[in-house]
Structure 1
């Protein structure tokens, strides 16, 4: 079983376009640290509240064990991103789903296998879970998620939807 750690922005983004199920279909079970749960439920602008997130049996909420490592990570990253990286190490995870550019740079530096919300959507299209990624990207934008024009063009080319 692949161990996949997910940050708050991908959960919020996928929930905004009613596509959270894609995580289950692609990865089975995914893990989020407690700080991500707090960001999504308490601070997040997703469609999913506490009960709805808890009803997603494929999303497992875990406390990080190494609280000391969290102090070392305190940089320009949010606590959710820090805990995602610590949990990635603690679980010896296979994939980290992050959108924030700075967090992705840290993850790449640490040699983590990473993707983001758009990578998840591309994978979903590749395996036939979604038919039209362009519509989903426009829904993300309509819901306040920023997608760079160059990135949008490249993604649509990759998805053969240009």
Structure 2
């Protein structure tokens, strides 16, 4: 059953790099803050977004948010990370392990292989599109379509079927 973003049941949230990067590209990173409050990112996500991505849009915004509403957290179980890193990127692997370690109420991750693995580990998972749907339903944006179009234009992979389904479900098609 999907968690209700309006309730108090979502407290501890781990977010992977792809969501942060995509939201930075469309100037909507603040949606995470407004919807979820404080979020956690593992060191590998910090490295990918802020260090490796220092010349990219939003890197400084993320860096400035560290210690405020984004908390950078060291993963303790390096063995688990190493095992997952064989199939996933470092950011995804650390995000899954950190979510497990923190007993996260939610893991926001988009890479399909990582999502399936997280679900198999009994983690509650959503992707970026679900975050945008919640934002619209909470009145933080009037329409989904412009944001979805911007995401696709910025290189976010969203197949036509999902795009149409989401817009139809939200009464925009």
Q: Scaled by the length of structure 1, what TM-score is found?
A: 0.94
Matches of residues 87-126 of structure 1 in structure 2 within 5 Å? Answer: 87-126=98-137
Correspondence 1:11 to 2:20:
yes
Unaligned segments of structure 2, at least 5 residues: 1-9
Deviation at 1:46, TM superposition (A): 4.5
Q: Secondary structure at the match of 1:32?
A: strand
Q: 1:71 corresponds to which residue?
A: 82
Pairing partner for 2:58 from 48, 56, 71: 48
Q: How far apart, in 1, do the equivalents of 2:56 and 2:99 lie?
A: 24
Q: How far apart, in 2, do the equivalents of 1:43 and 1:152 lie?
A: 30
Q: How far apart, in 2, do the equivalents of 1:147 and 1:90 lie?
A: 30
Q: 2:41 corresponds to which residue?
A: 32
Unaligned segments of structure 1, at least 5 residues: none
Q: How far apart, in 2, do the equivalents of 1:21 and 1:31 lie?
A: 14
How many residue pairs match? The answer is 161
For the aligned residue pairs, the C-alpha RMSD in angstroms reads 1.4
